Structure 1
C-alpha cells in the first residue's frame, strides 16, 4: 500500500462557512493512516461548471449539503453532472442548522468517515461487477476463437457453393420453362377466384354480430357490478329481440351501442319488476332518454 498513491478525496460544500466547519472537524482525523486517504481540497461552490473543473481527476467526491429539500436538490444536480467524471460520488449530509455559529465537529467528522466507508463498500460491489465483466470478456474471447474456426469452415463451404452455382444456373433454365407453365395455371386460378369472389360477395354485405362481455358492458353502462346474469338471459329469451343473443357470460349484437341499449332496457324492466330497487335507481332512469318508450314497445 505504501508504494501506491493515496486515494484522492475532495469535498464539495455550499459556502465558505462550510469550509471552515469541515476543516475544523478534520483537524483530529488521520485518514491517511487509517484509510490511506487524503482530502486534497474542500470546494465551496454551487456552480456545476466550477465543480466539474475542481473535481477533475479525483477518486472520490463527497457532496456535502444540508438535509433539507434545497440541499437534496443541489446534491442531485451535482451527482448528475459529475457521475461520469470521477471514480465515485457519495452524498454527505450536514445536520440541520449547519449555518449557525457553532456545530459540534464530531458530527461532521463522523459524517465524513461514514461517507468514505459507504464509498468503499460501493467499490466492493463494483469489484464484483468488474470480475463478472472479466468472466464475460473471457467468454467473448472464446466465442471469437470459435467464430474464427467457423469462418474457416464457411470459406470452404463458399468454395463448394461456387461450384453449385453453375448447377443452379442450369436449373434456372429448367425452372424458367416451368414458370411459363405455372403462369398459364395462374391465369386459370385467377378466373376461378373471380368467380368465387362474385359468388360469395354477399357475405361482406351482411351485418355480422359482435361479441361482448356482459359484466364489462354492465359496469360500463351503470358503474355497477352485475349480480344476477340469469335475469338478463331470461329476459332476452322471453322477448327474443332481433340481432341480440345472450349466453355463457357474453352478449352478441350488431354493435356495442345496440348491446348497451338492450342492457338498459333489461335494467329498466328489472326496476319495474322489483319496486324496492326503483328509488335506488331513480337517477339512472332520468338519464336514459326515451327508455320508457323502448321498454313499453318490448313489453307490448
Structure 2
C-alpha cells in the first residue's frame, strides 16, 4: 500500500430520506479496507449551485437518483454541471421510489460497490490514454525547455544586437558631426583655393621685376666702372621709364635685357652731354615733353 491518502468519494442524493437509506447501507461495508476509499459526505440536494460548492475537489462523485425519468434528468444535469469540479462522476441508481417505506440496504450497498467498481474500471481504461498524455506532456515540457533555452539565447543575442546597434548609432552620430566639420573645412579650403587661384592669376598677369646690382650690371655691360651713380638716379627719375626702377645701388626691370637697354640709353645721354649734366637738367626743366622715347629715337 502506498502512502497516498484514501480516495475521496462523495454521494449526492435527492432528499433526506435517501441520506438515511445510504447511511444504513454503508454500515456493513468496509470500503476503506476493500477499495482504499472513504465516503466523506452524503449531500441531499437538487440545487446545482449548492452541489458545486460541496463536491469541489472530490475524486469520485456518485449521483444517487431514482430510476424514473425525473431522477435520470437530474443525474444528467448534475453530470453536465459538475464534470469539471471532480475527478470522475458515476450515476448510482436507487431501485425504488421515495414512496417506498423500506429499501433493502444490501441492494443500495451493491449499487454503491458497483458504481465504485465502474469508476475504477473506467479509470483503468483511461490509464493508457493518461500515460500517453503524460508522455506528451513530458515531451512538451522538454520542448518547452529547449524553446526556453533558445528564447534565452535569442534574448541575449537581442541584447547584444541592441548594444551593438547603439554603438553603431553613436558612431554614426559622431561621423555625422565629423562630416559636418569636414564639410565646413572643405568649404574653407575651396574658398582658399579660389582666393589662391585669383592671387596666382594676378601674379601671373603682373610684370615681375628682376633686381640687379647697378654697379655690377654697368661693369658687365660696358666693361667700365660706374663713377656717377647719382646721374643714373637723376636721369631715371626725370624720364620715368616704364617698368624700370633704380635706387639704392640696384636696378629692377622685367628682364635683364630691358635693364641693360635702359643703362645703354643713360650712357648715351651721359656721353652726349659729357660733364655738362647741369645743362641736361636745365633742358629737362625747360622742356616738360622731354621723354625717354625721344632718347631711343
Output the TM-score relative to the length of structure 2: 0.47
**Which has the greater radius of gyration?**
2
Output the TM-score relative to the length of structure 1: 0.47
